[in-house]
Structure 1
Amino acid sequence: MKSAFVTTAFGLEGYRVVENLGVVRGIIVRSRSIIGNVVAGLEAIFGGRINVYTELCERTRQESFDLMREHAMELGANAVIGMRYDANEVAAGITEVLCYGTAVKIEKI
């Protein structure tokens, strides 16, 4: 997607959907490291933001987002509409993050 549009909306103002290419997704499964858990535990003692987990979550969401966009590009899409995130704990300390949406071809009205 050269000029990739990704939106949580189901349309883009000024554009119309000319082809629906189907659902696209990006899935990442991550585990927390022992070192990360220790650092996060120390941060939790002092209260406030737990940077180790914040960075891990942000990086994981970005990677799943990038995979979703790659999937859309493989289908020939120039936009993804209805984008959402979902997360599930697969096992203790192991989390799946899913980014998904509908790949479409759009054109300016």
Structure 2
Amino acid sequence: MSSMPPPPVLDASMVTTALELPGYRVVRNLGVVRGIVVRSRSIFGTIGAGLQTIVGGNITLLSQLCEKTRQDAFVMMMQHASERGANAIICARYDANELMQGVTEVLAYGTAVIVERG
């Protein structure tokens, strides 16, 4: 039994926070799509971030973790849209919630659409 390759991922240039994509018109709305990632900080990351707070400034360990988590949620959202047959996502947003001490959920969501040049 052969496994199917994952569905193609949308081009990130076809994802926008706006209500429309310039140069395109929405021909079909496929509904809300999302990508959810739940991450925890490792004990080493927590200690390292704690040490960085002593000197002040950007807490790079946490910034990198946040960026990686957002990127993963974004890619999952694009995969979900591709699975639904979309070629674009409009009204893209992020949300984050702390589920418990040191455990955060990051949600990327938007409206999957089919667009045509127009």
TM-score range normalised by the length of the shorter chain? over 0.9
Is 2-11 or 78-87 further displaced after alignment? 2-11
Report the TM-score when normalising by structure 1.
0.97
Deviation at 1:3, TM superposition (A): 4.0
Q: 1:13 aligns with which of 15, 19, 22?
A: 22
| Residues 92 and 81 of structure 1, relative CA distance in 2, 3 Å threshold | same
Deviation at 1:14, TM superposition (A): 1.3
Q: Which runs of 4+ in 1 moved over 2 A?
A: 1-4
Amino acid at match of 1:21: L
Unaligned runs of 5+ in 2: 1-8
Count of matched residue pairs: 109
Local SS of the residue matching 1:41: helix
Unaligned runs of 5+ in 1: none
Identity, in percent, stands at 61
How far apart in 2 are the matches of 1:41 and 1:56?
Answer: 14
Local SS of the residue matching 2:45: helix
Task: Say what the alpha-carbon RMSD is for the aligned residues.
Answer: 1.0
How far apart in 2 are the matches of 1:67 and 1:73?
Answer: 10
CA offsets per residue over residues 77-102 of structure 1, 9 Å max, x none? 00000000000010111000000000
Amino acid at match of 1:67: M
Amino acid at match of 2:79: E
Q: Which has the higher strand share?
A: 1
